[in-house]
Amino acid sequence: MDVHTKVLLVTANVGSLFEDPEGLLQTWLHEFLSKVSYIQPKFLALHLQEVGGKTYEKSMEHVQEFIRCLCDDSVMAAYLSVHAYLDEDFKSAEHFTALGNLYFAHIDIVSLKIWNFLTHNWEEQIQKDKHIYCGNIETIATKEKSKFPQNYFPECKWSRKGFMRTRWEINGTVIDLVNIHLFHDASNLVACESFPSVYCKTRRRALVHTIERFHSDEKNGSVPYFLFGDFNFRCDTDGVVKELTKNLNPYRADDTRIENNKVHYRNSIGDTVLTIGKKEFSHVDHKLKFKEDWLKKYDRELEPLKDTLDEYPINFCPTYPFEEDPHMPMDYMSTRCPAWCDRILMSPQIKEMVVIDEWKYGMIGESACMGDHKPIYLSVRLKANKVEEIQHKPVLKHLFWIYIFFIFCRSI
């Protein structure tokens, strides 16, 4: 008799966690482990971005403490198989992504295999294996990791953006689990000039590049996948500003310094309602305005790929940018327009491999300080013995990507 496997997927940008480990680490772990304890998954996948924080040269030392606290907690005692991949080699500009992929398999899982991307075959009997790979992990064969091509990066300057994937056979069902970190918006002023913004176009280009790479992988084949990480998706800022500034008058401060170039929108009695600067996005009702339903219609970055990537309905507030002050855990910083940056997406075939109507898609630590990004989770029940045939059909893939290229160009 087939047994469905409860799977929990979590994505978390932990950059600010490692900037202030004393203030945030224990709270973050408590909220995360409470969710694991409540859902009680048999397979847990945790995808991290910005491992070690923004000042990773100084903060990377805290990563091992984070892993130790996580693995040693009593909630994790029954997860005998642990595979962790932590890209920490910040001295290698061409390879460093600061991504972390952590996987925990419960003792109750009957069959578990992991794919070797060099031998193009399965590694079996791993139910009780514990492997924590850190530092330079370029030669580890049970993961595939890559930065985006350098010409994709704004001004061709390297930053910690790329993807890392693993492939699993869980009770006879094969899936890829892919961690991804896409490019951010450098300036609010540029972002609100038009939609799609130049930043949105760059993110879409990198996302299409990643998906195409999986579909064109002749040696490892193509299987259904979950793609979850910090996509840095932003709302249609141009549309948001127009919505917020109806019946308001723009006023630009007389300052020749570019860094002080701001636009203020004032009402009829001269009160400032909205201020936009390069790194400022401040509304008079900033605490509550962006948690209202009106904002969701401006979450548009995935529109051109709606036939290629699926997502469960979003019923949580924007995941970024939250205050990093423990006394203001539910408030947004006035630096960016709040947006759903952190997401869990999937290839269309996935929904044939999970139990219908047995899913939960939500936020972890809604009322706790988790850093500037709130972790997002998806809980599903994975059917057993669902193996999509690994595709090796170049003609079909070629036609598929002509279509993707077509809709991508139309969106630019």
The pLDDT tens digits of the residues spanning 251-300 come to: 987 665 555 689 999 999 999 999 999 999 999 999 999 999 999 999 99
At 157, the pLDDT band (50, 70, 90 cuts) reads: low
- Give the pLDDT of residue 407: 53
Q: Above 60 in pLDDT, residue 223?
A: yes
- Give the pLDDT of residue 383: 96
Least confident of 90-104, 260-274, 365-379, 395-409: 395-409
More confident residue, 238 or 158: 238
Domains and CATH numbers, the chain: 5-234+299-409 (3.60.10.10)
Helix (H, G, I), strand (E, B), or coil: what is residue 131? strand
- Give the pLDDT of residue 91: 83
- Give the pLDDT of residue 151: 78
The values of phi and psi at residue 164, to 5°, are: -145, 130
More confident residue, 146 or 255: 146
Q: Above 50 in pLDDT, residue 406?
A: no
At 142, the pLDDT band (50, 70, 90 cuts) reads: very high
Helix (H, G, I), strand (E, B), or coil: what is residue 399? helix
Instruction: Give the CA distances from residue 45 to residues 8, 17, 107, 281, 354, in Å, rounded to whole numbers and listed in that order.
Output: 6, 19, 15, 34, 16
Neighbours of 121 (CB within 10 A): 11
- Give the pLDDT of residue 398: 44
- Give the chain's length: 412
End-to-end CA distance of the chain: 50
**pLDDT > 70: percent of the chain:** 90
CA atoms of 269 and 250, how far apart (whole Å):
13
Least confident of 7-11, 91-95, 273-277: 91-95
- Give the pLDDT of residue 396: 42
- Give the pLDDT of residue 294: 97
For 369-386, what is the mean pLDDT?
96
Q: Above 90 in pLDDT, residue 93?
A: no
For 39-64, what is the mean pLDDT?
88
Residues 382-395: pLDDT tens digits? 999 987 655 444 43
- Give the pLDDT of residue 22: 86
Q: Above 60 in pLDDT, residue 32?
A: yes
At 405, the pLDDT band (50, 70, 90 cuts) reads: low
For 106-135, what is the mean pLDDT?
93
Question: To 5 degrees, how large is the angle CA 332–CA 334–CA 335?
Answer: 110
**pLDDT > 90: percent of the chain:** 79
Listed in sequence order, the DSSP H helices in 229-356 are: 237-244, 286-289
CA atoms of 164 and 146, how far apart (whole Å):
6
Please, which residues have CB within 8 angstroms of residue 402's CB and are 6 or more apart in sequence?
none
At 404, the pLDDT band (50, 70, 90 cuts) reads: low
- Give the pLDDT of residue 258: 54
- Give the pLDDT of residue 402: 43
Averaged pLDDT score across all residues of the chain: 90
Number of H helices, E strands in the chain: 9, 18
- Give the pLDDT of residue 160: 81
